[in-house]
Amino acid sequence: MGTVKYIDSKHYHVPVGKAAIELVSGAPSGILANTILTKDSTYKLQFTIGDANNSCIGDFIVYAQAGPVIQNFSVQSSGKGFTERFSMQFGAFSSLTPISFSSFNQSRTSENFSCGPVIDNIVLDFIQASSQIRQPSLAVSSLVFSLLLFIFA
């Protein structure tokens, strides 16, 4: 959705691993994947928000949606490569559950390039099912999450 930028750890601050996604356009920008989950089960979605250490300064608001739950997460960027970990809990009311991250920020670096919040280290953990069947956890880097977006979209 909108414009996203794949960033690598060689040129930018990446919270975990070698790549992440920067949400760069303000009209909005984001990533979306429809995930197959166990209906009527509870999950915890964890993720990292930060900046790419590219002089992108400002208030970043990221909207995370998992199934019917939408939460706003705000961070203050100084453009120097910070990260902050967040989480949210939600119920899967359908076996096909949308998970998305979006931003409406319109920020620019000191070189006047569009920039925005970095999303990385996305982890989806199973908490409980109505039948108490234990499900495995799913850890997805933001790069893999984006690839899933293109495969299933």
Residue 126, CA distances (Å) to 46, 49, 54, 110, 133 in order:
11, 21, 35, 42, 10
Q: Does the pLDDT at position 129 exceed 60?
A: yes
Q: Does the pLDDT at position 147 exceed 50?
A: no
**What is the DSSP-derived secondary structure letter of residue 137?**
-
What is the per-residue pLDDT across 30-69, written as a single tens digit (0 to 9) for each? 999 999 999 999 999 999 999 999 999 989 999 999 999 9
3-state secondary structure at position 150: helix
- In 3D space, the residue among 67, 125, 64, 68 whose CA is nearest the CA of residue 98 turns out to be 67
Which CATH fold topology does 4-152 show? Jelly Rolls (2.60.120)
Would you state the pLDDT for residue 131? 56
Q: Does the pLDDT at position 1 exceed 50?
A: yes
Domain spans in the chain, listed from the N-terminal domain onward: 4-152
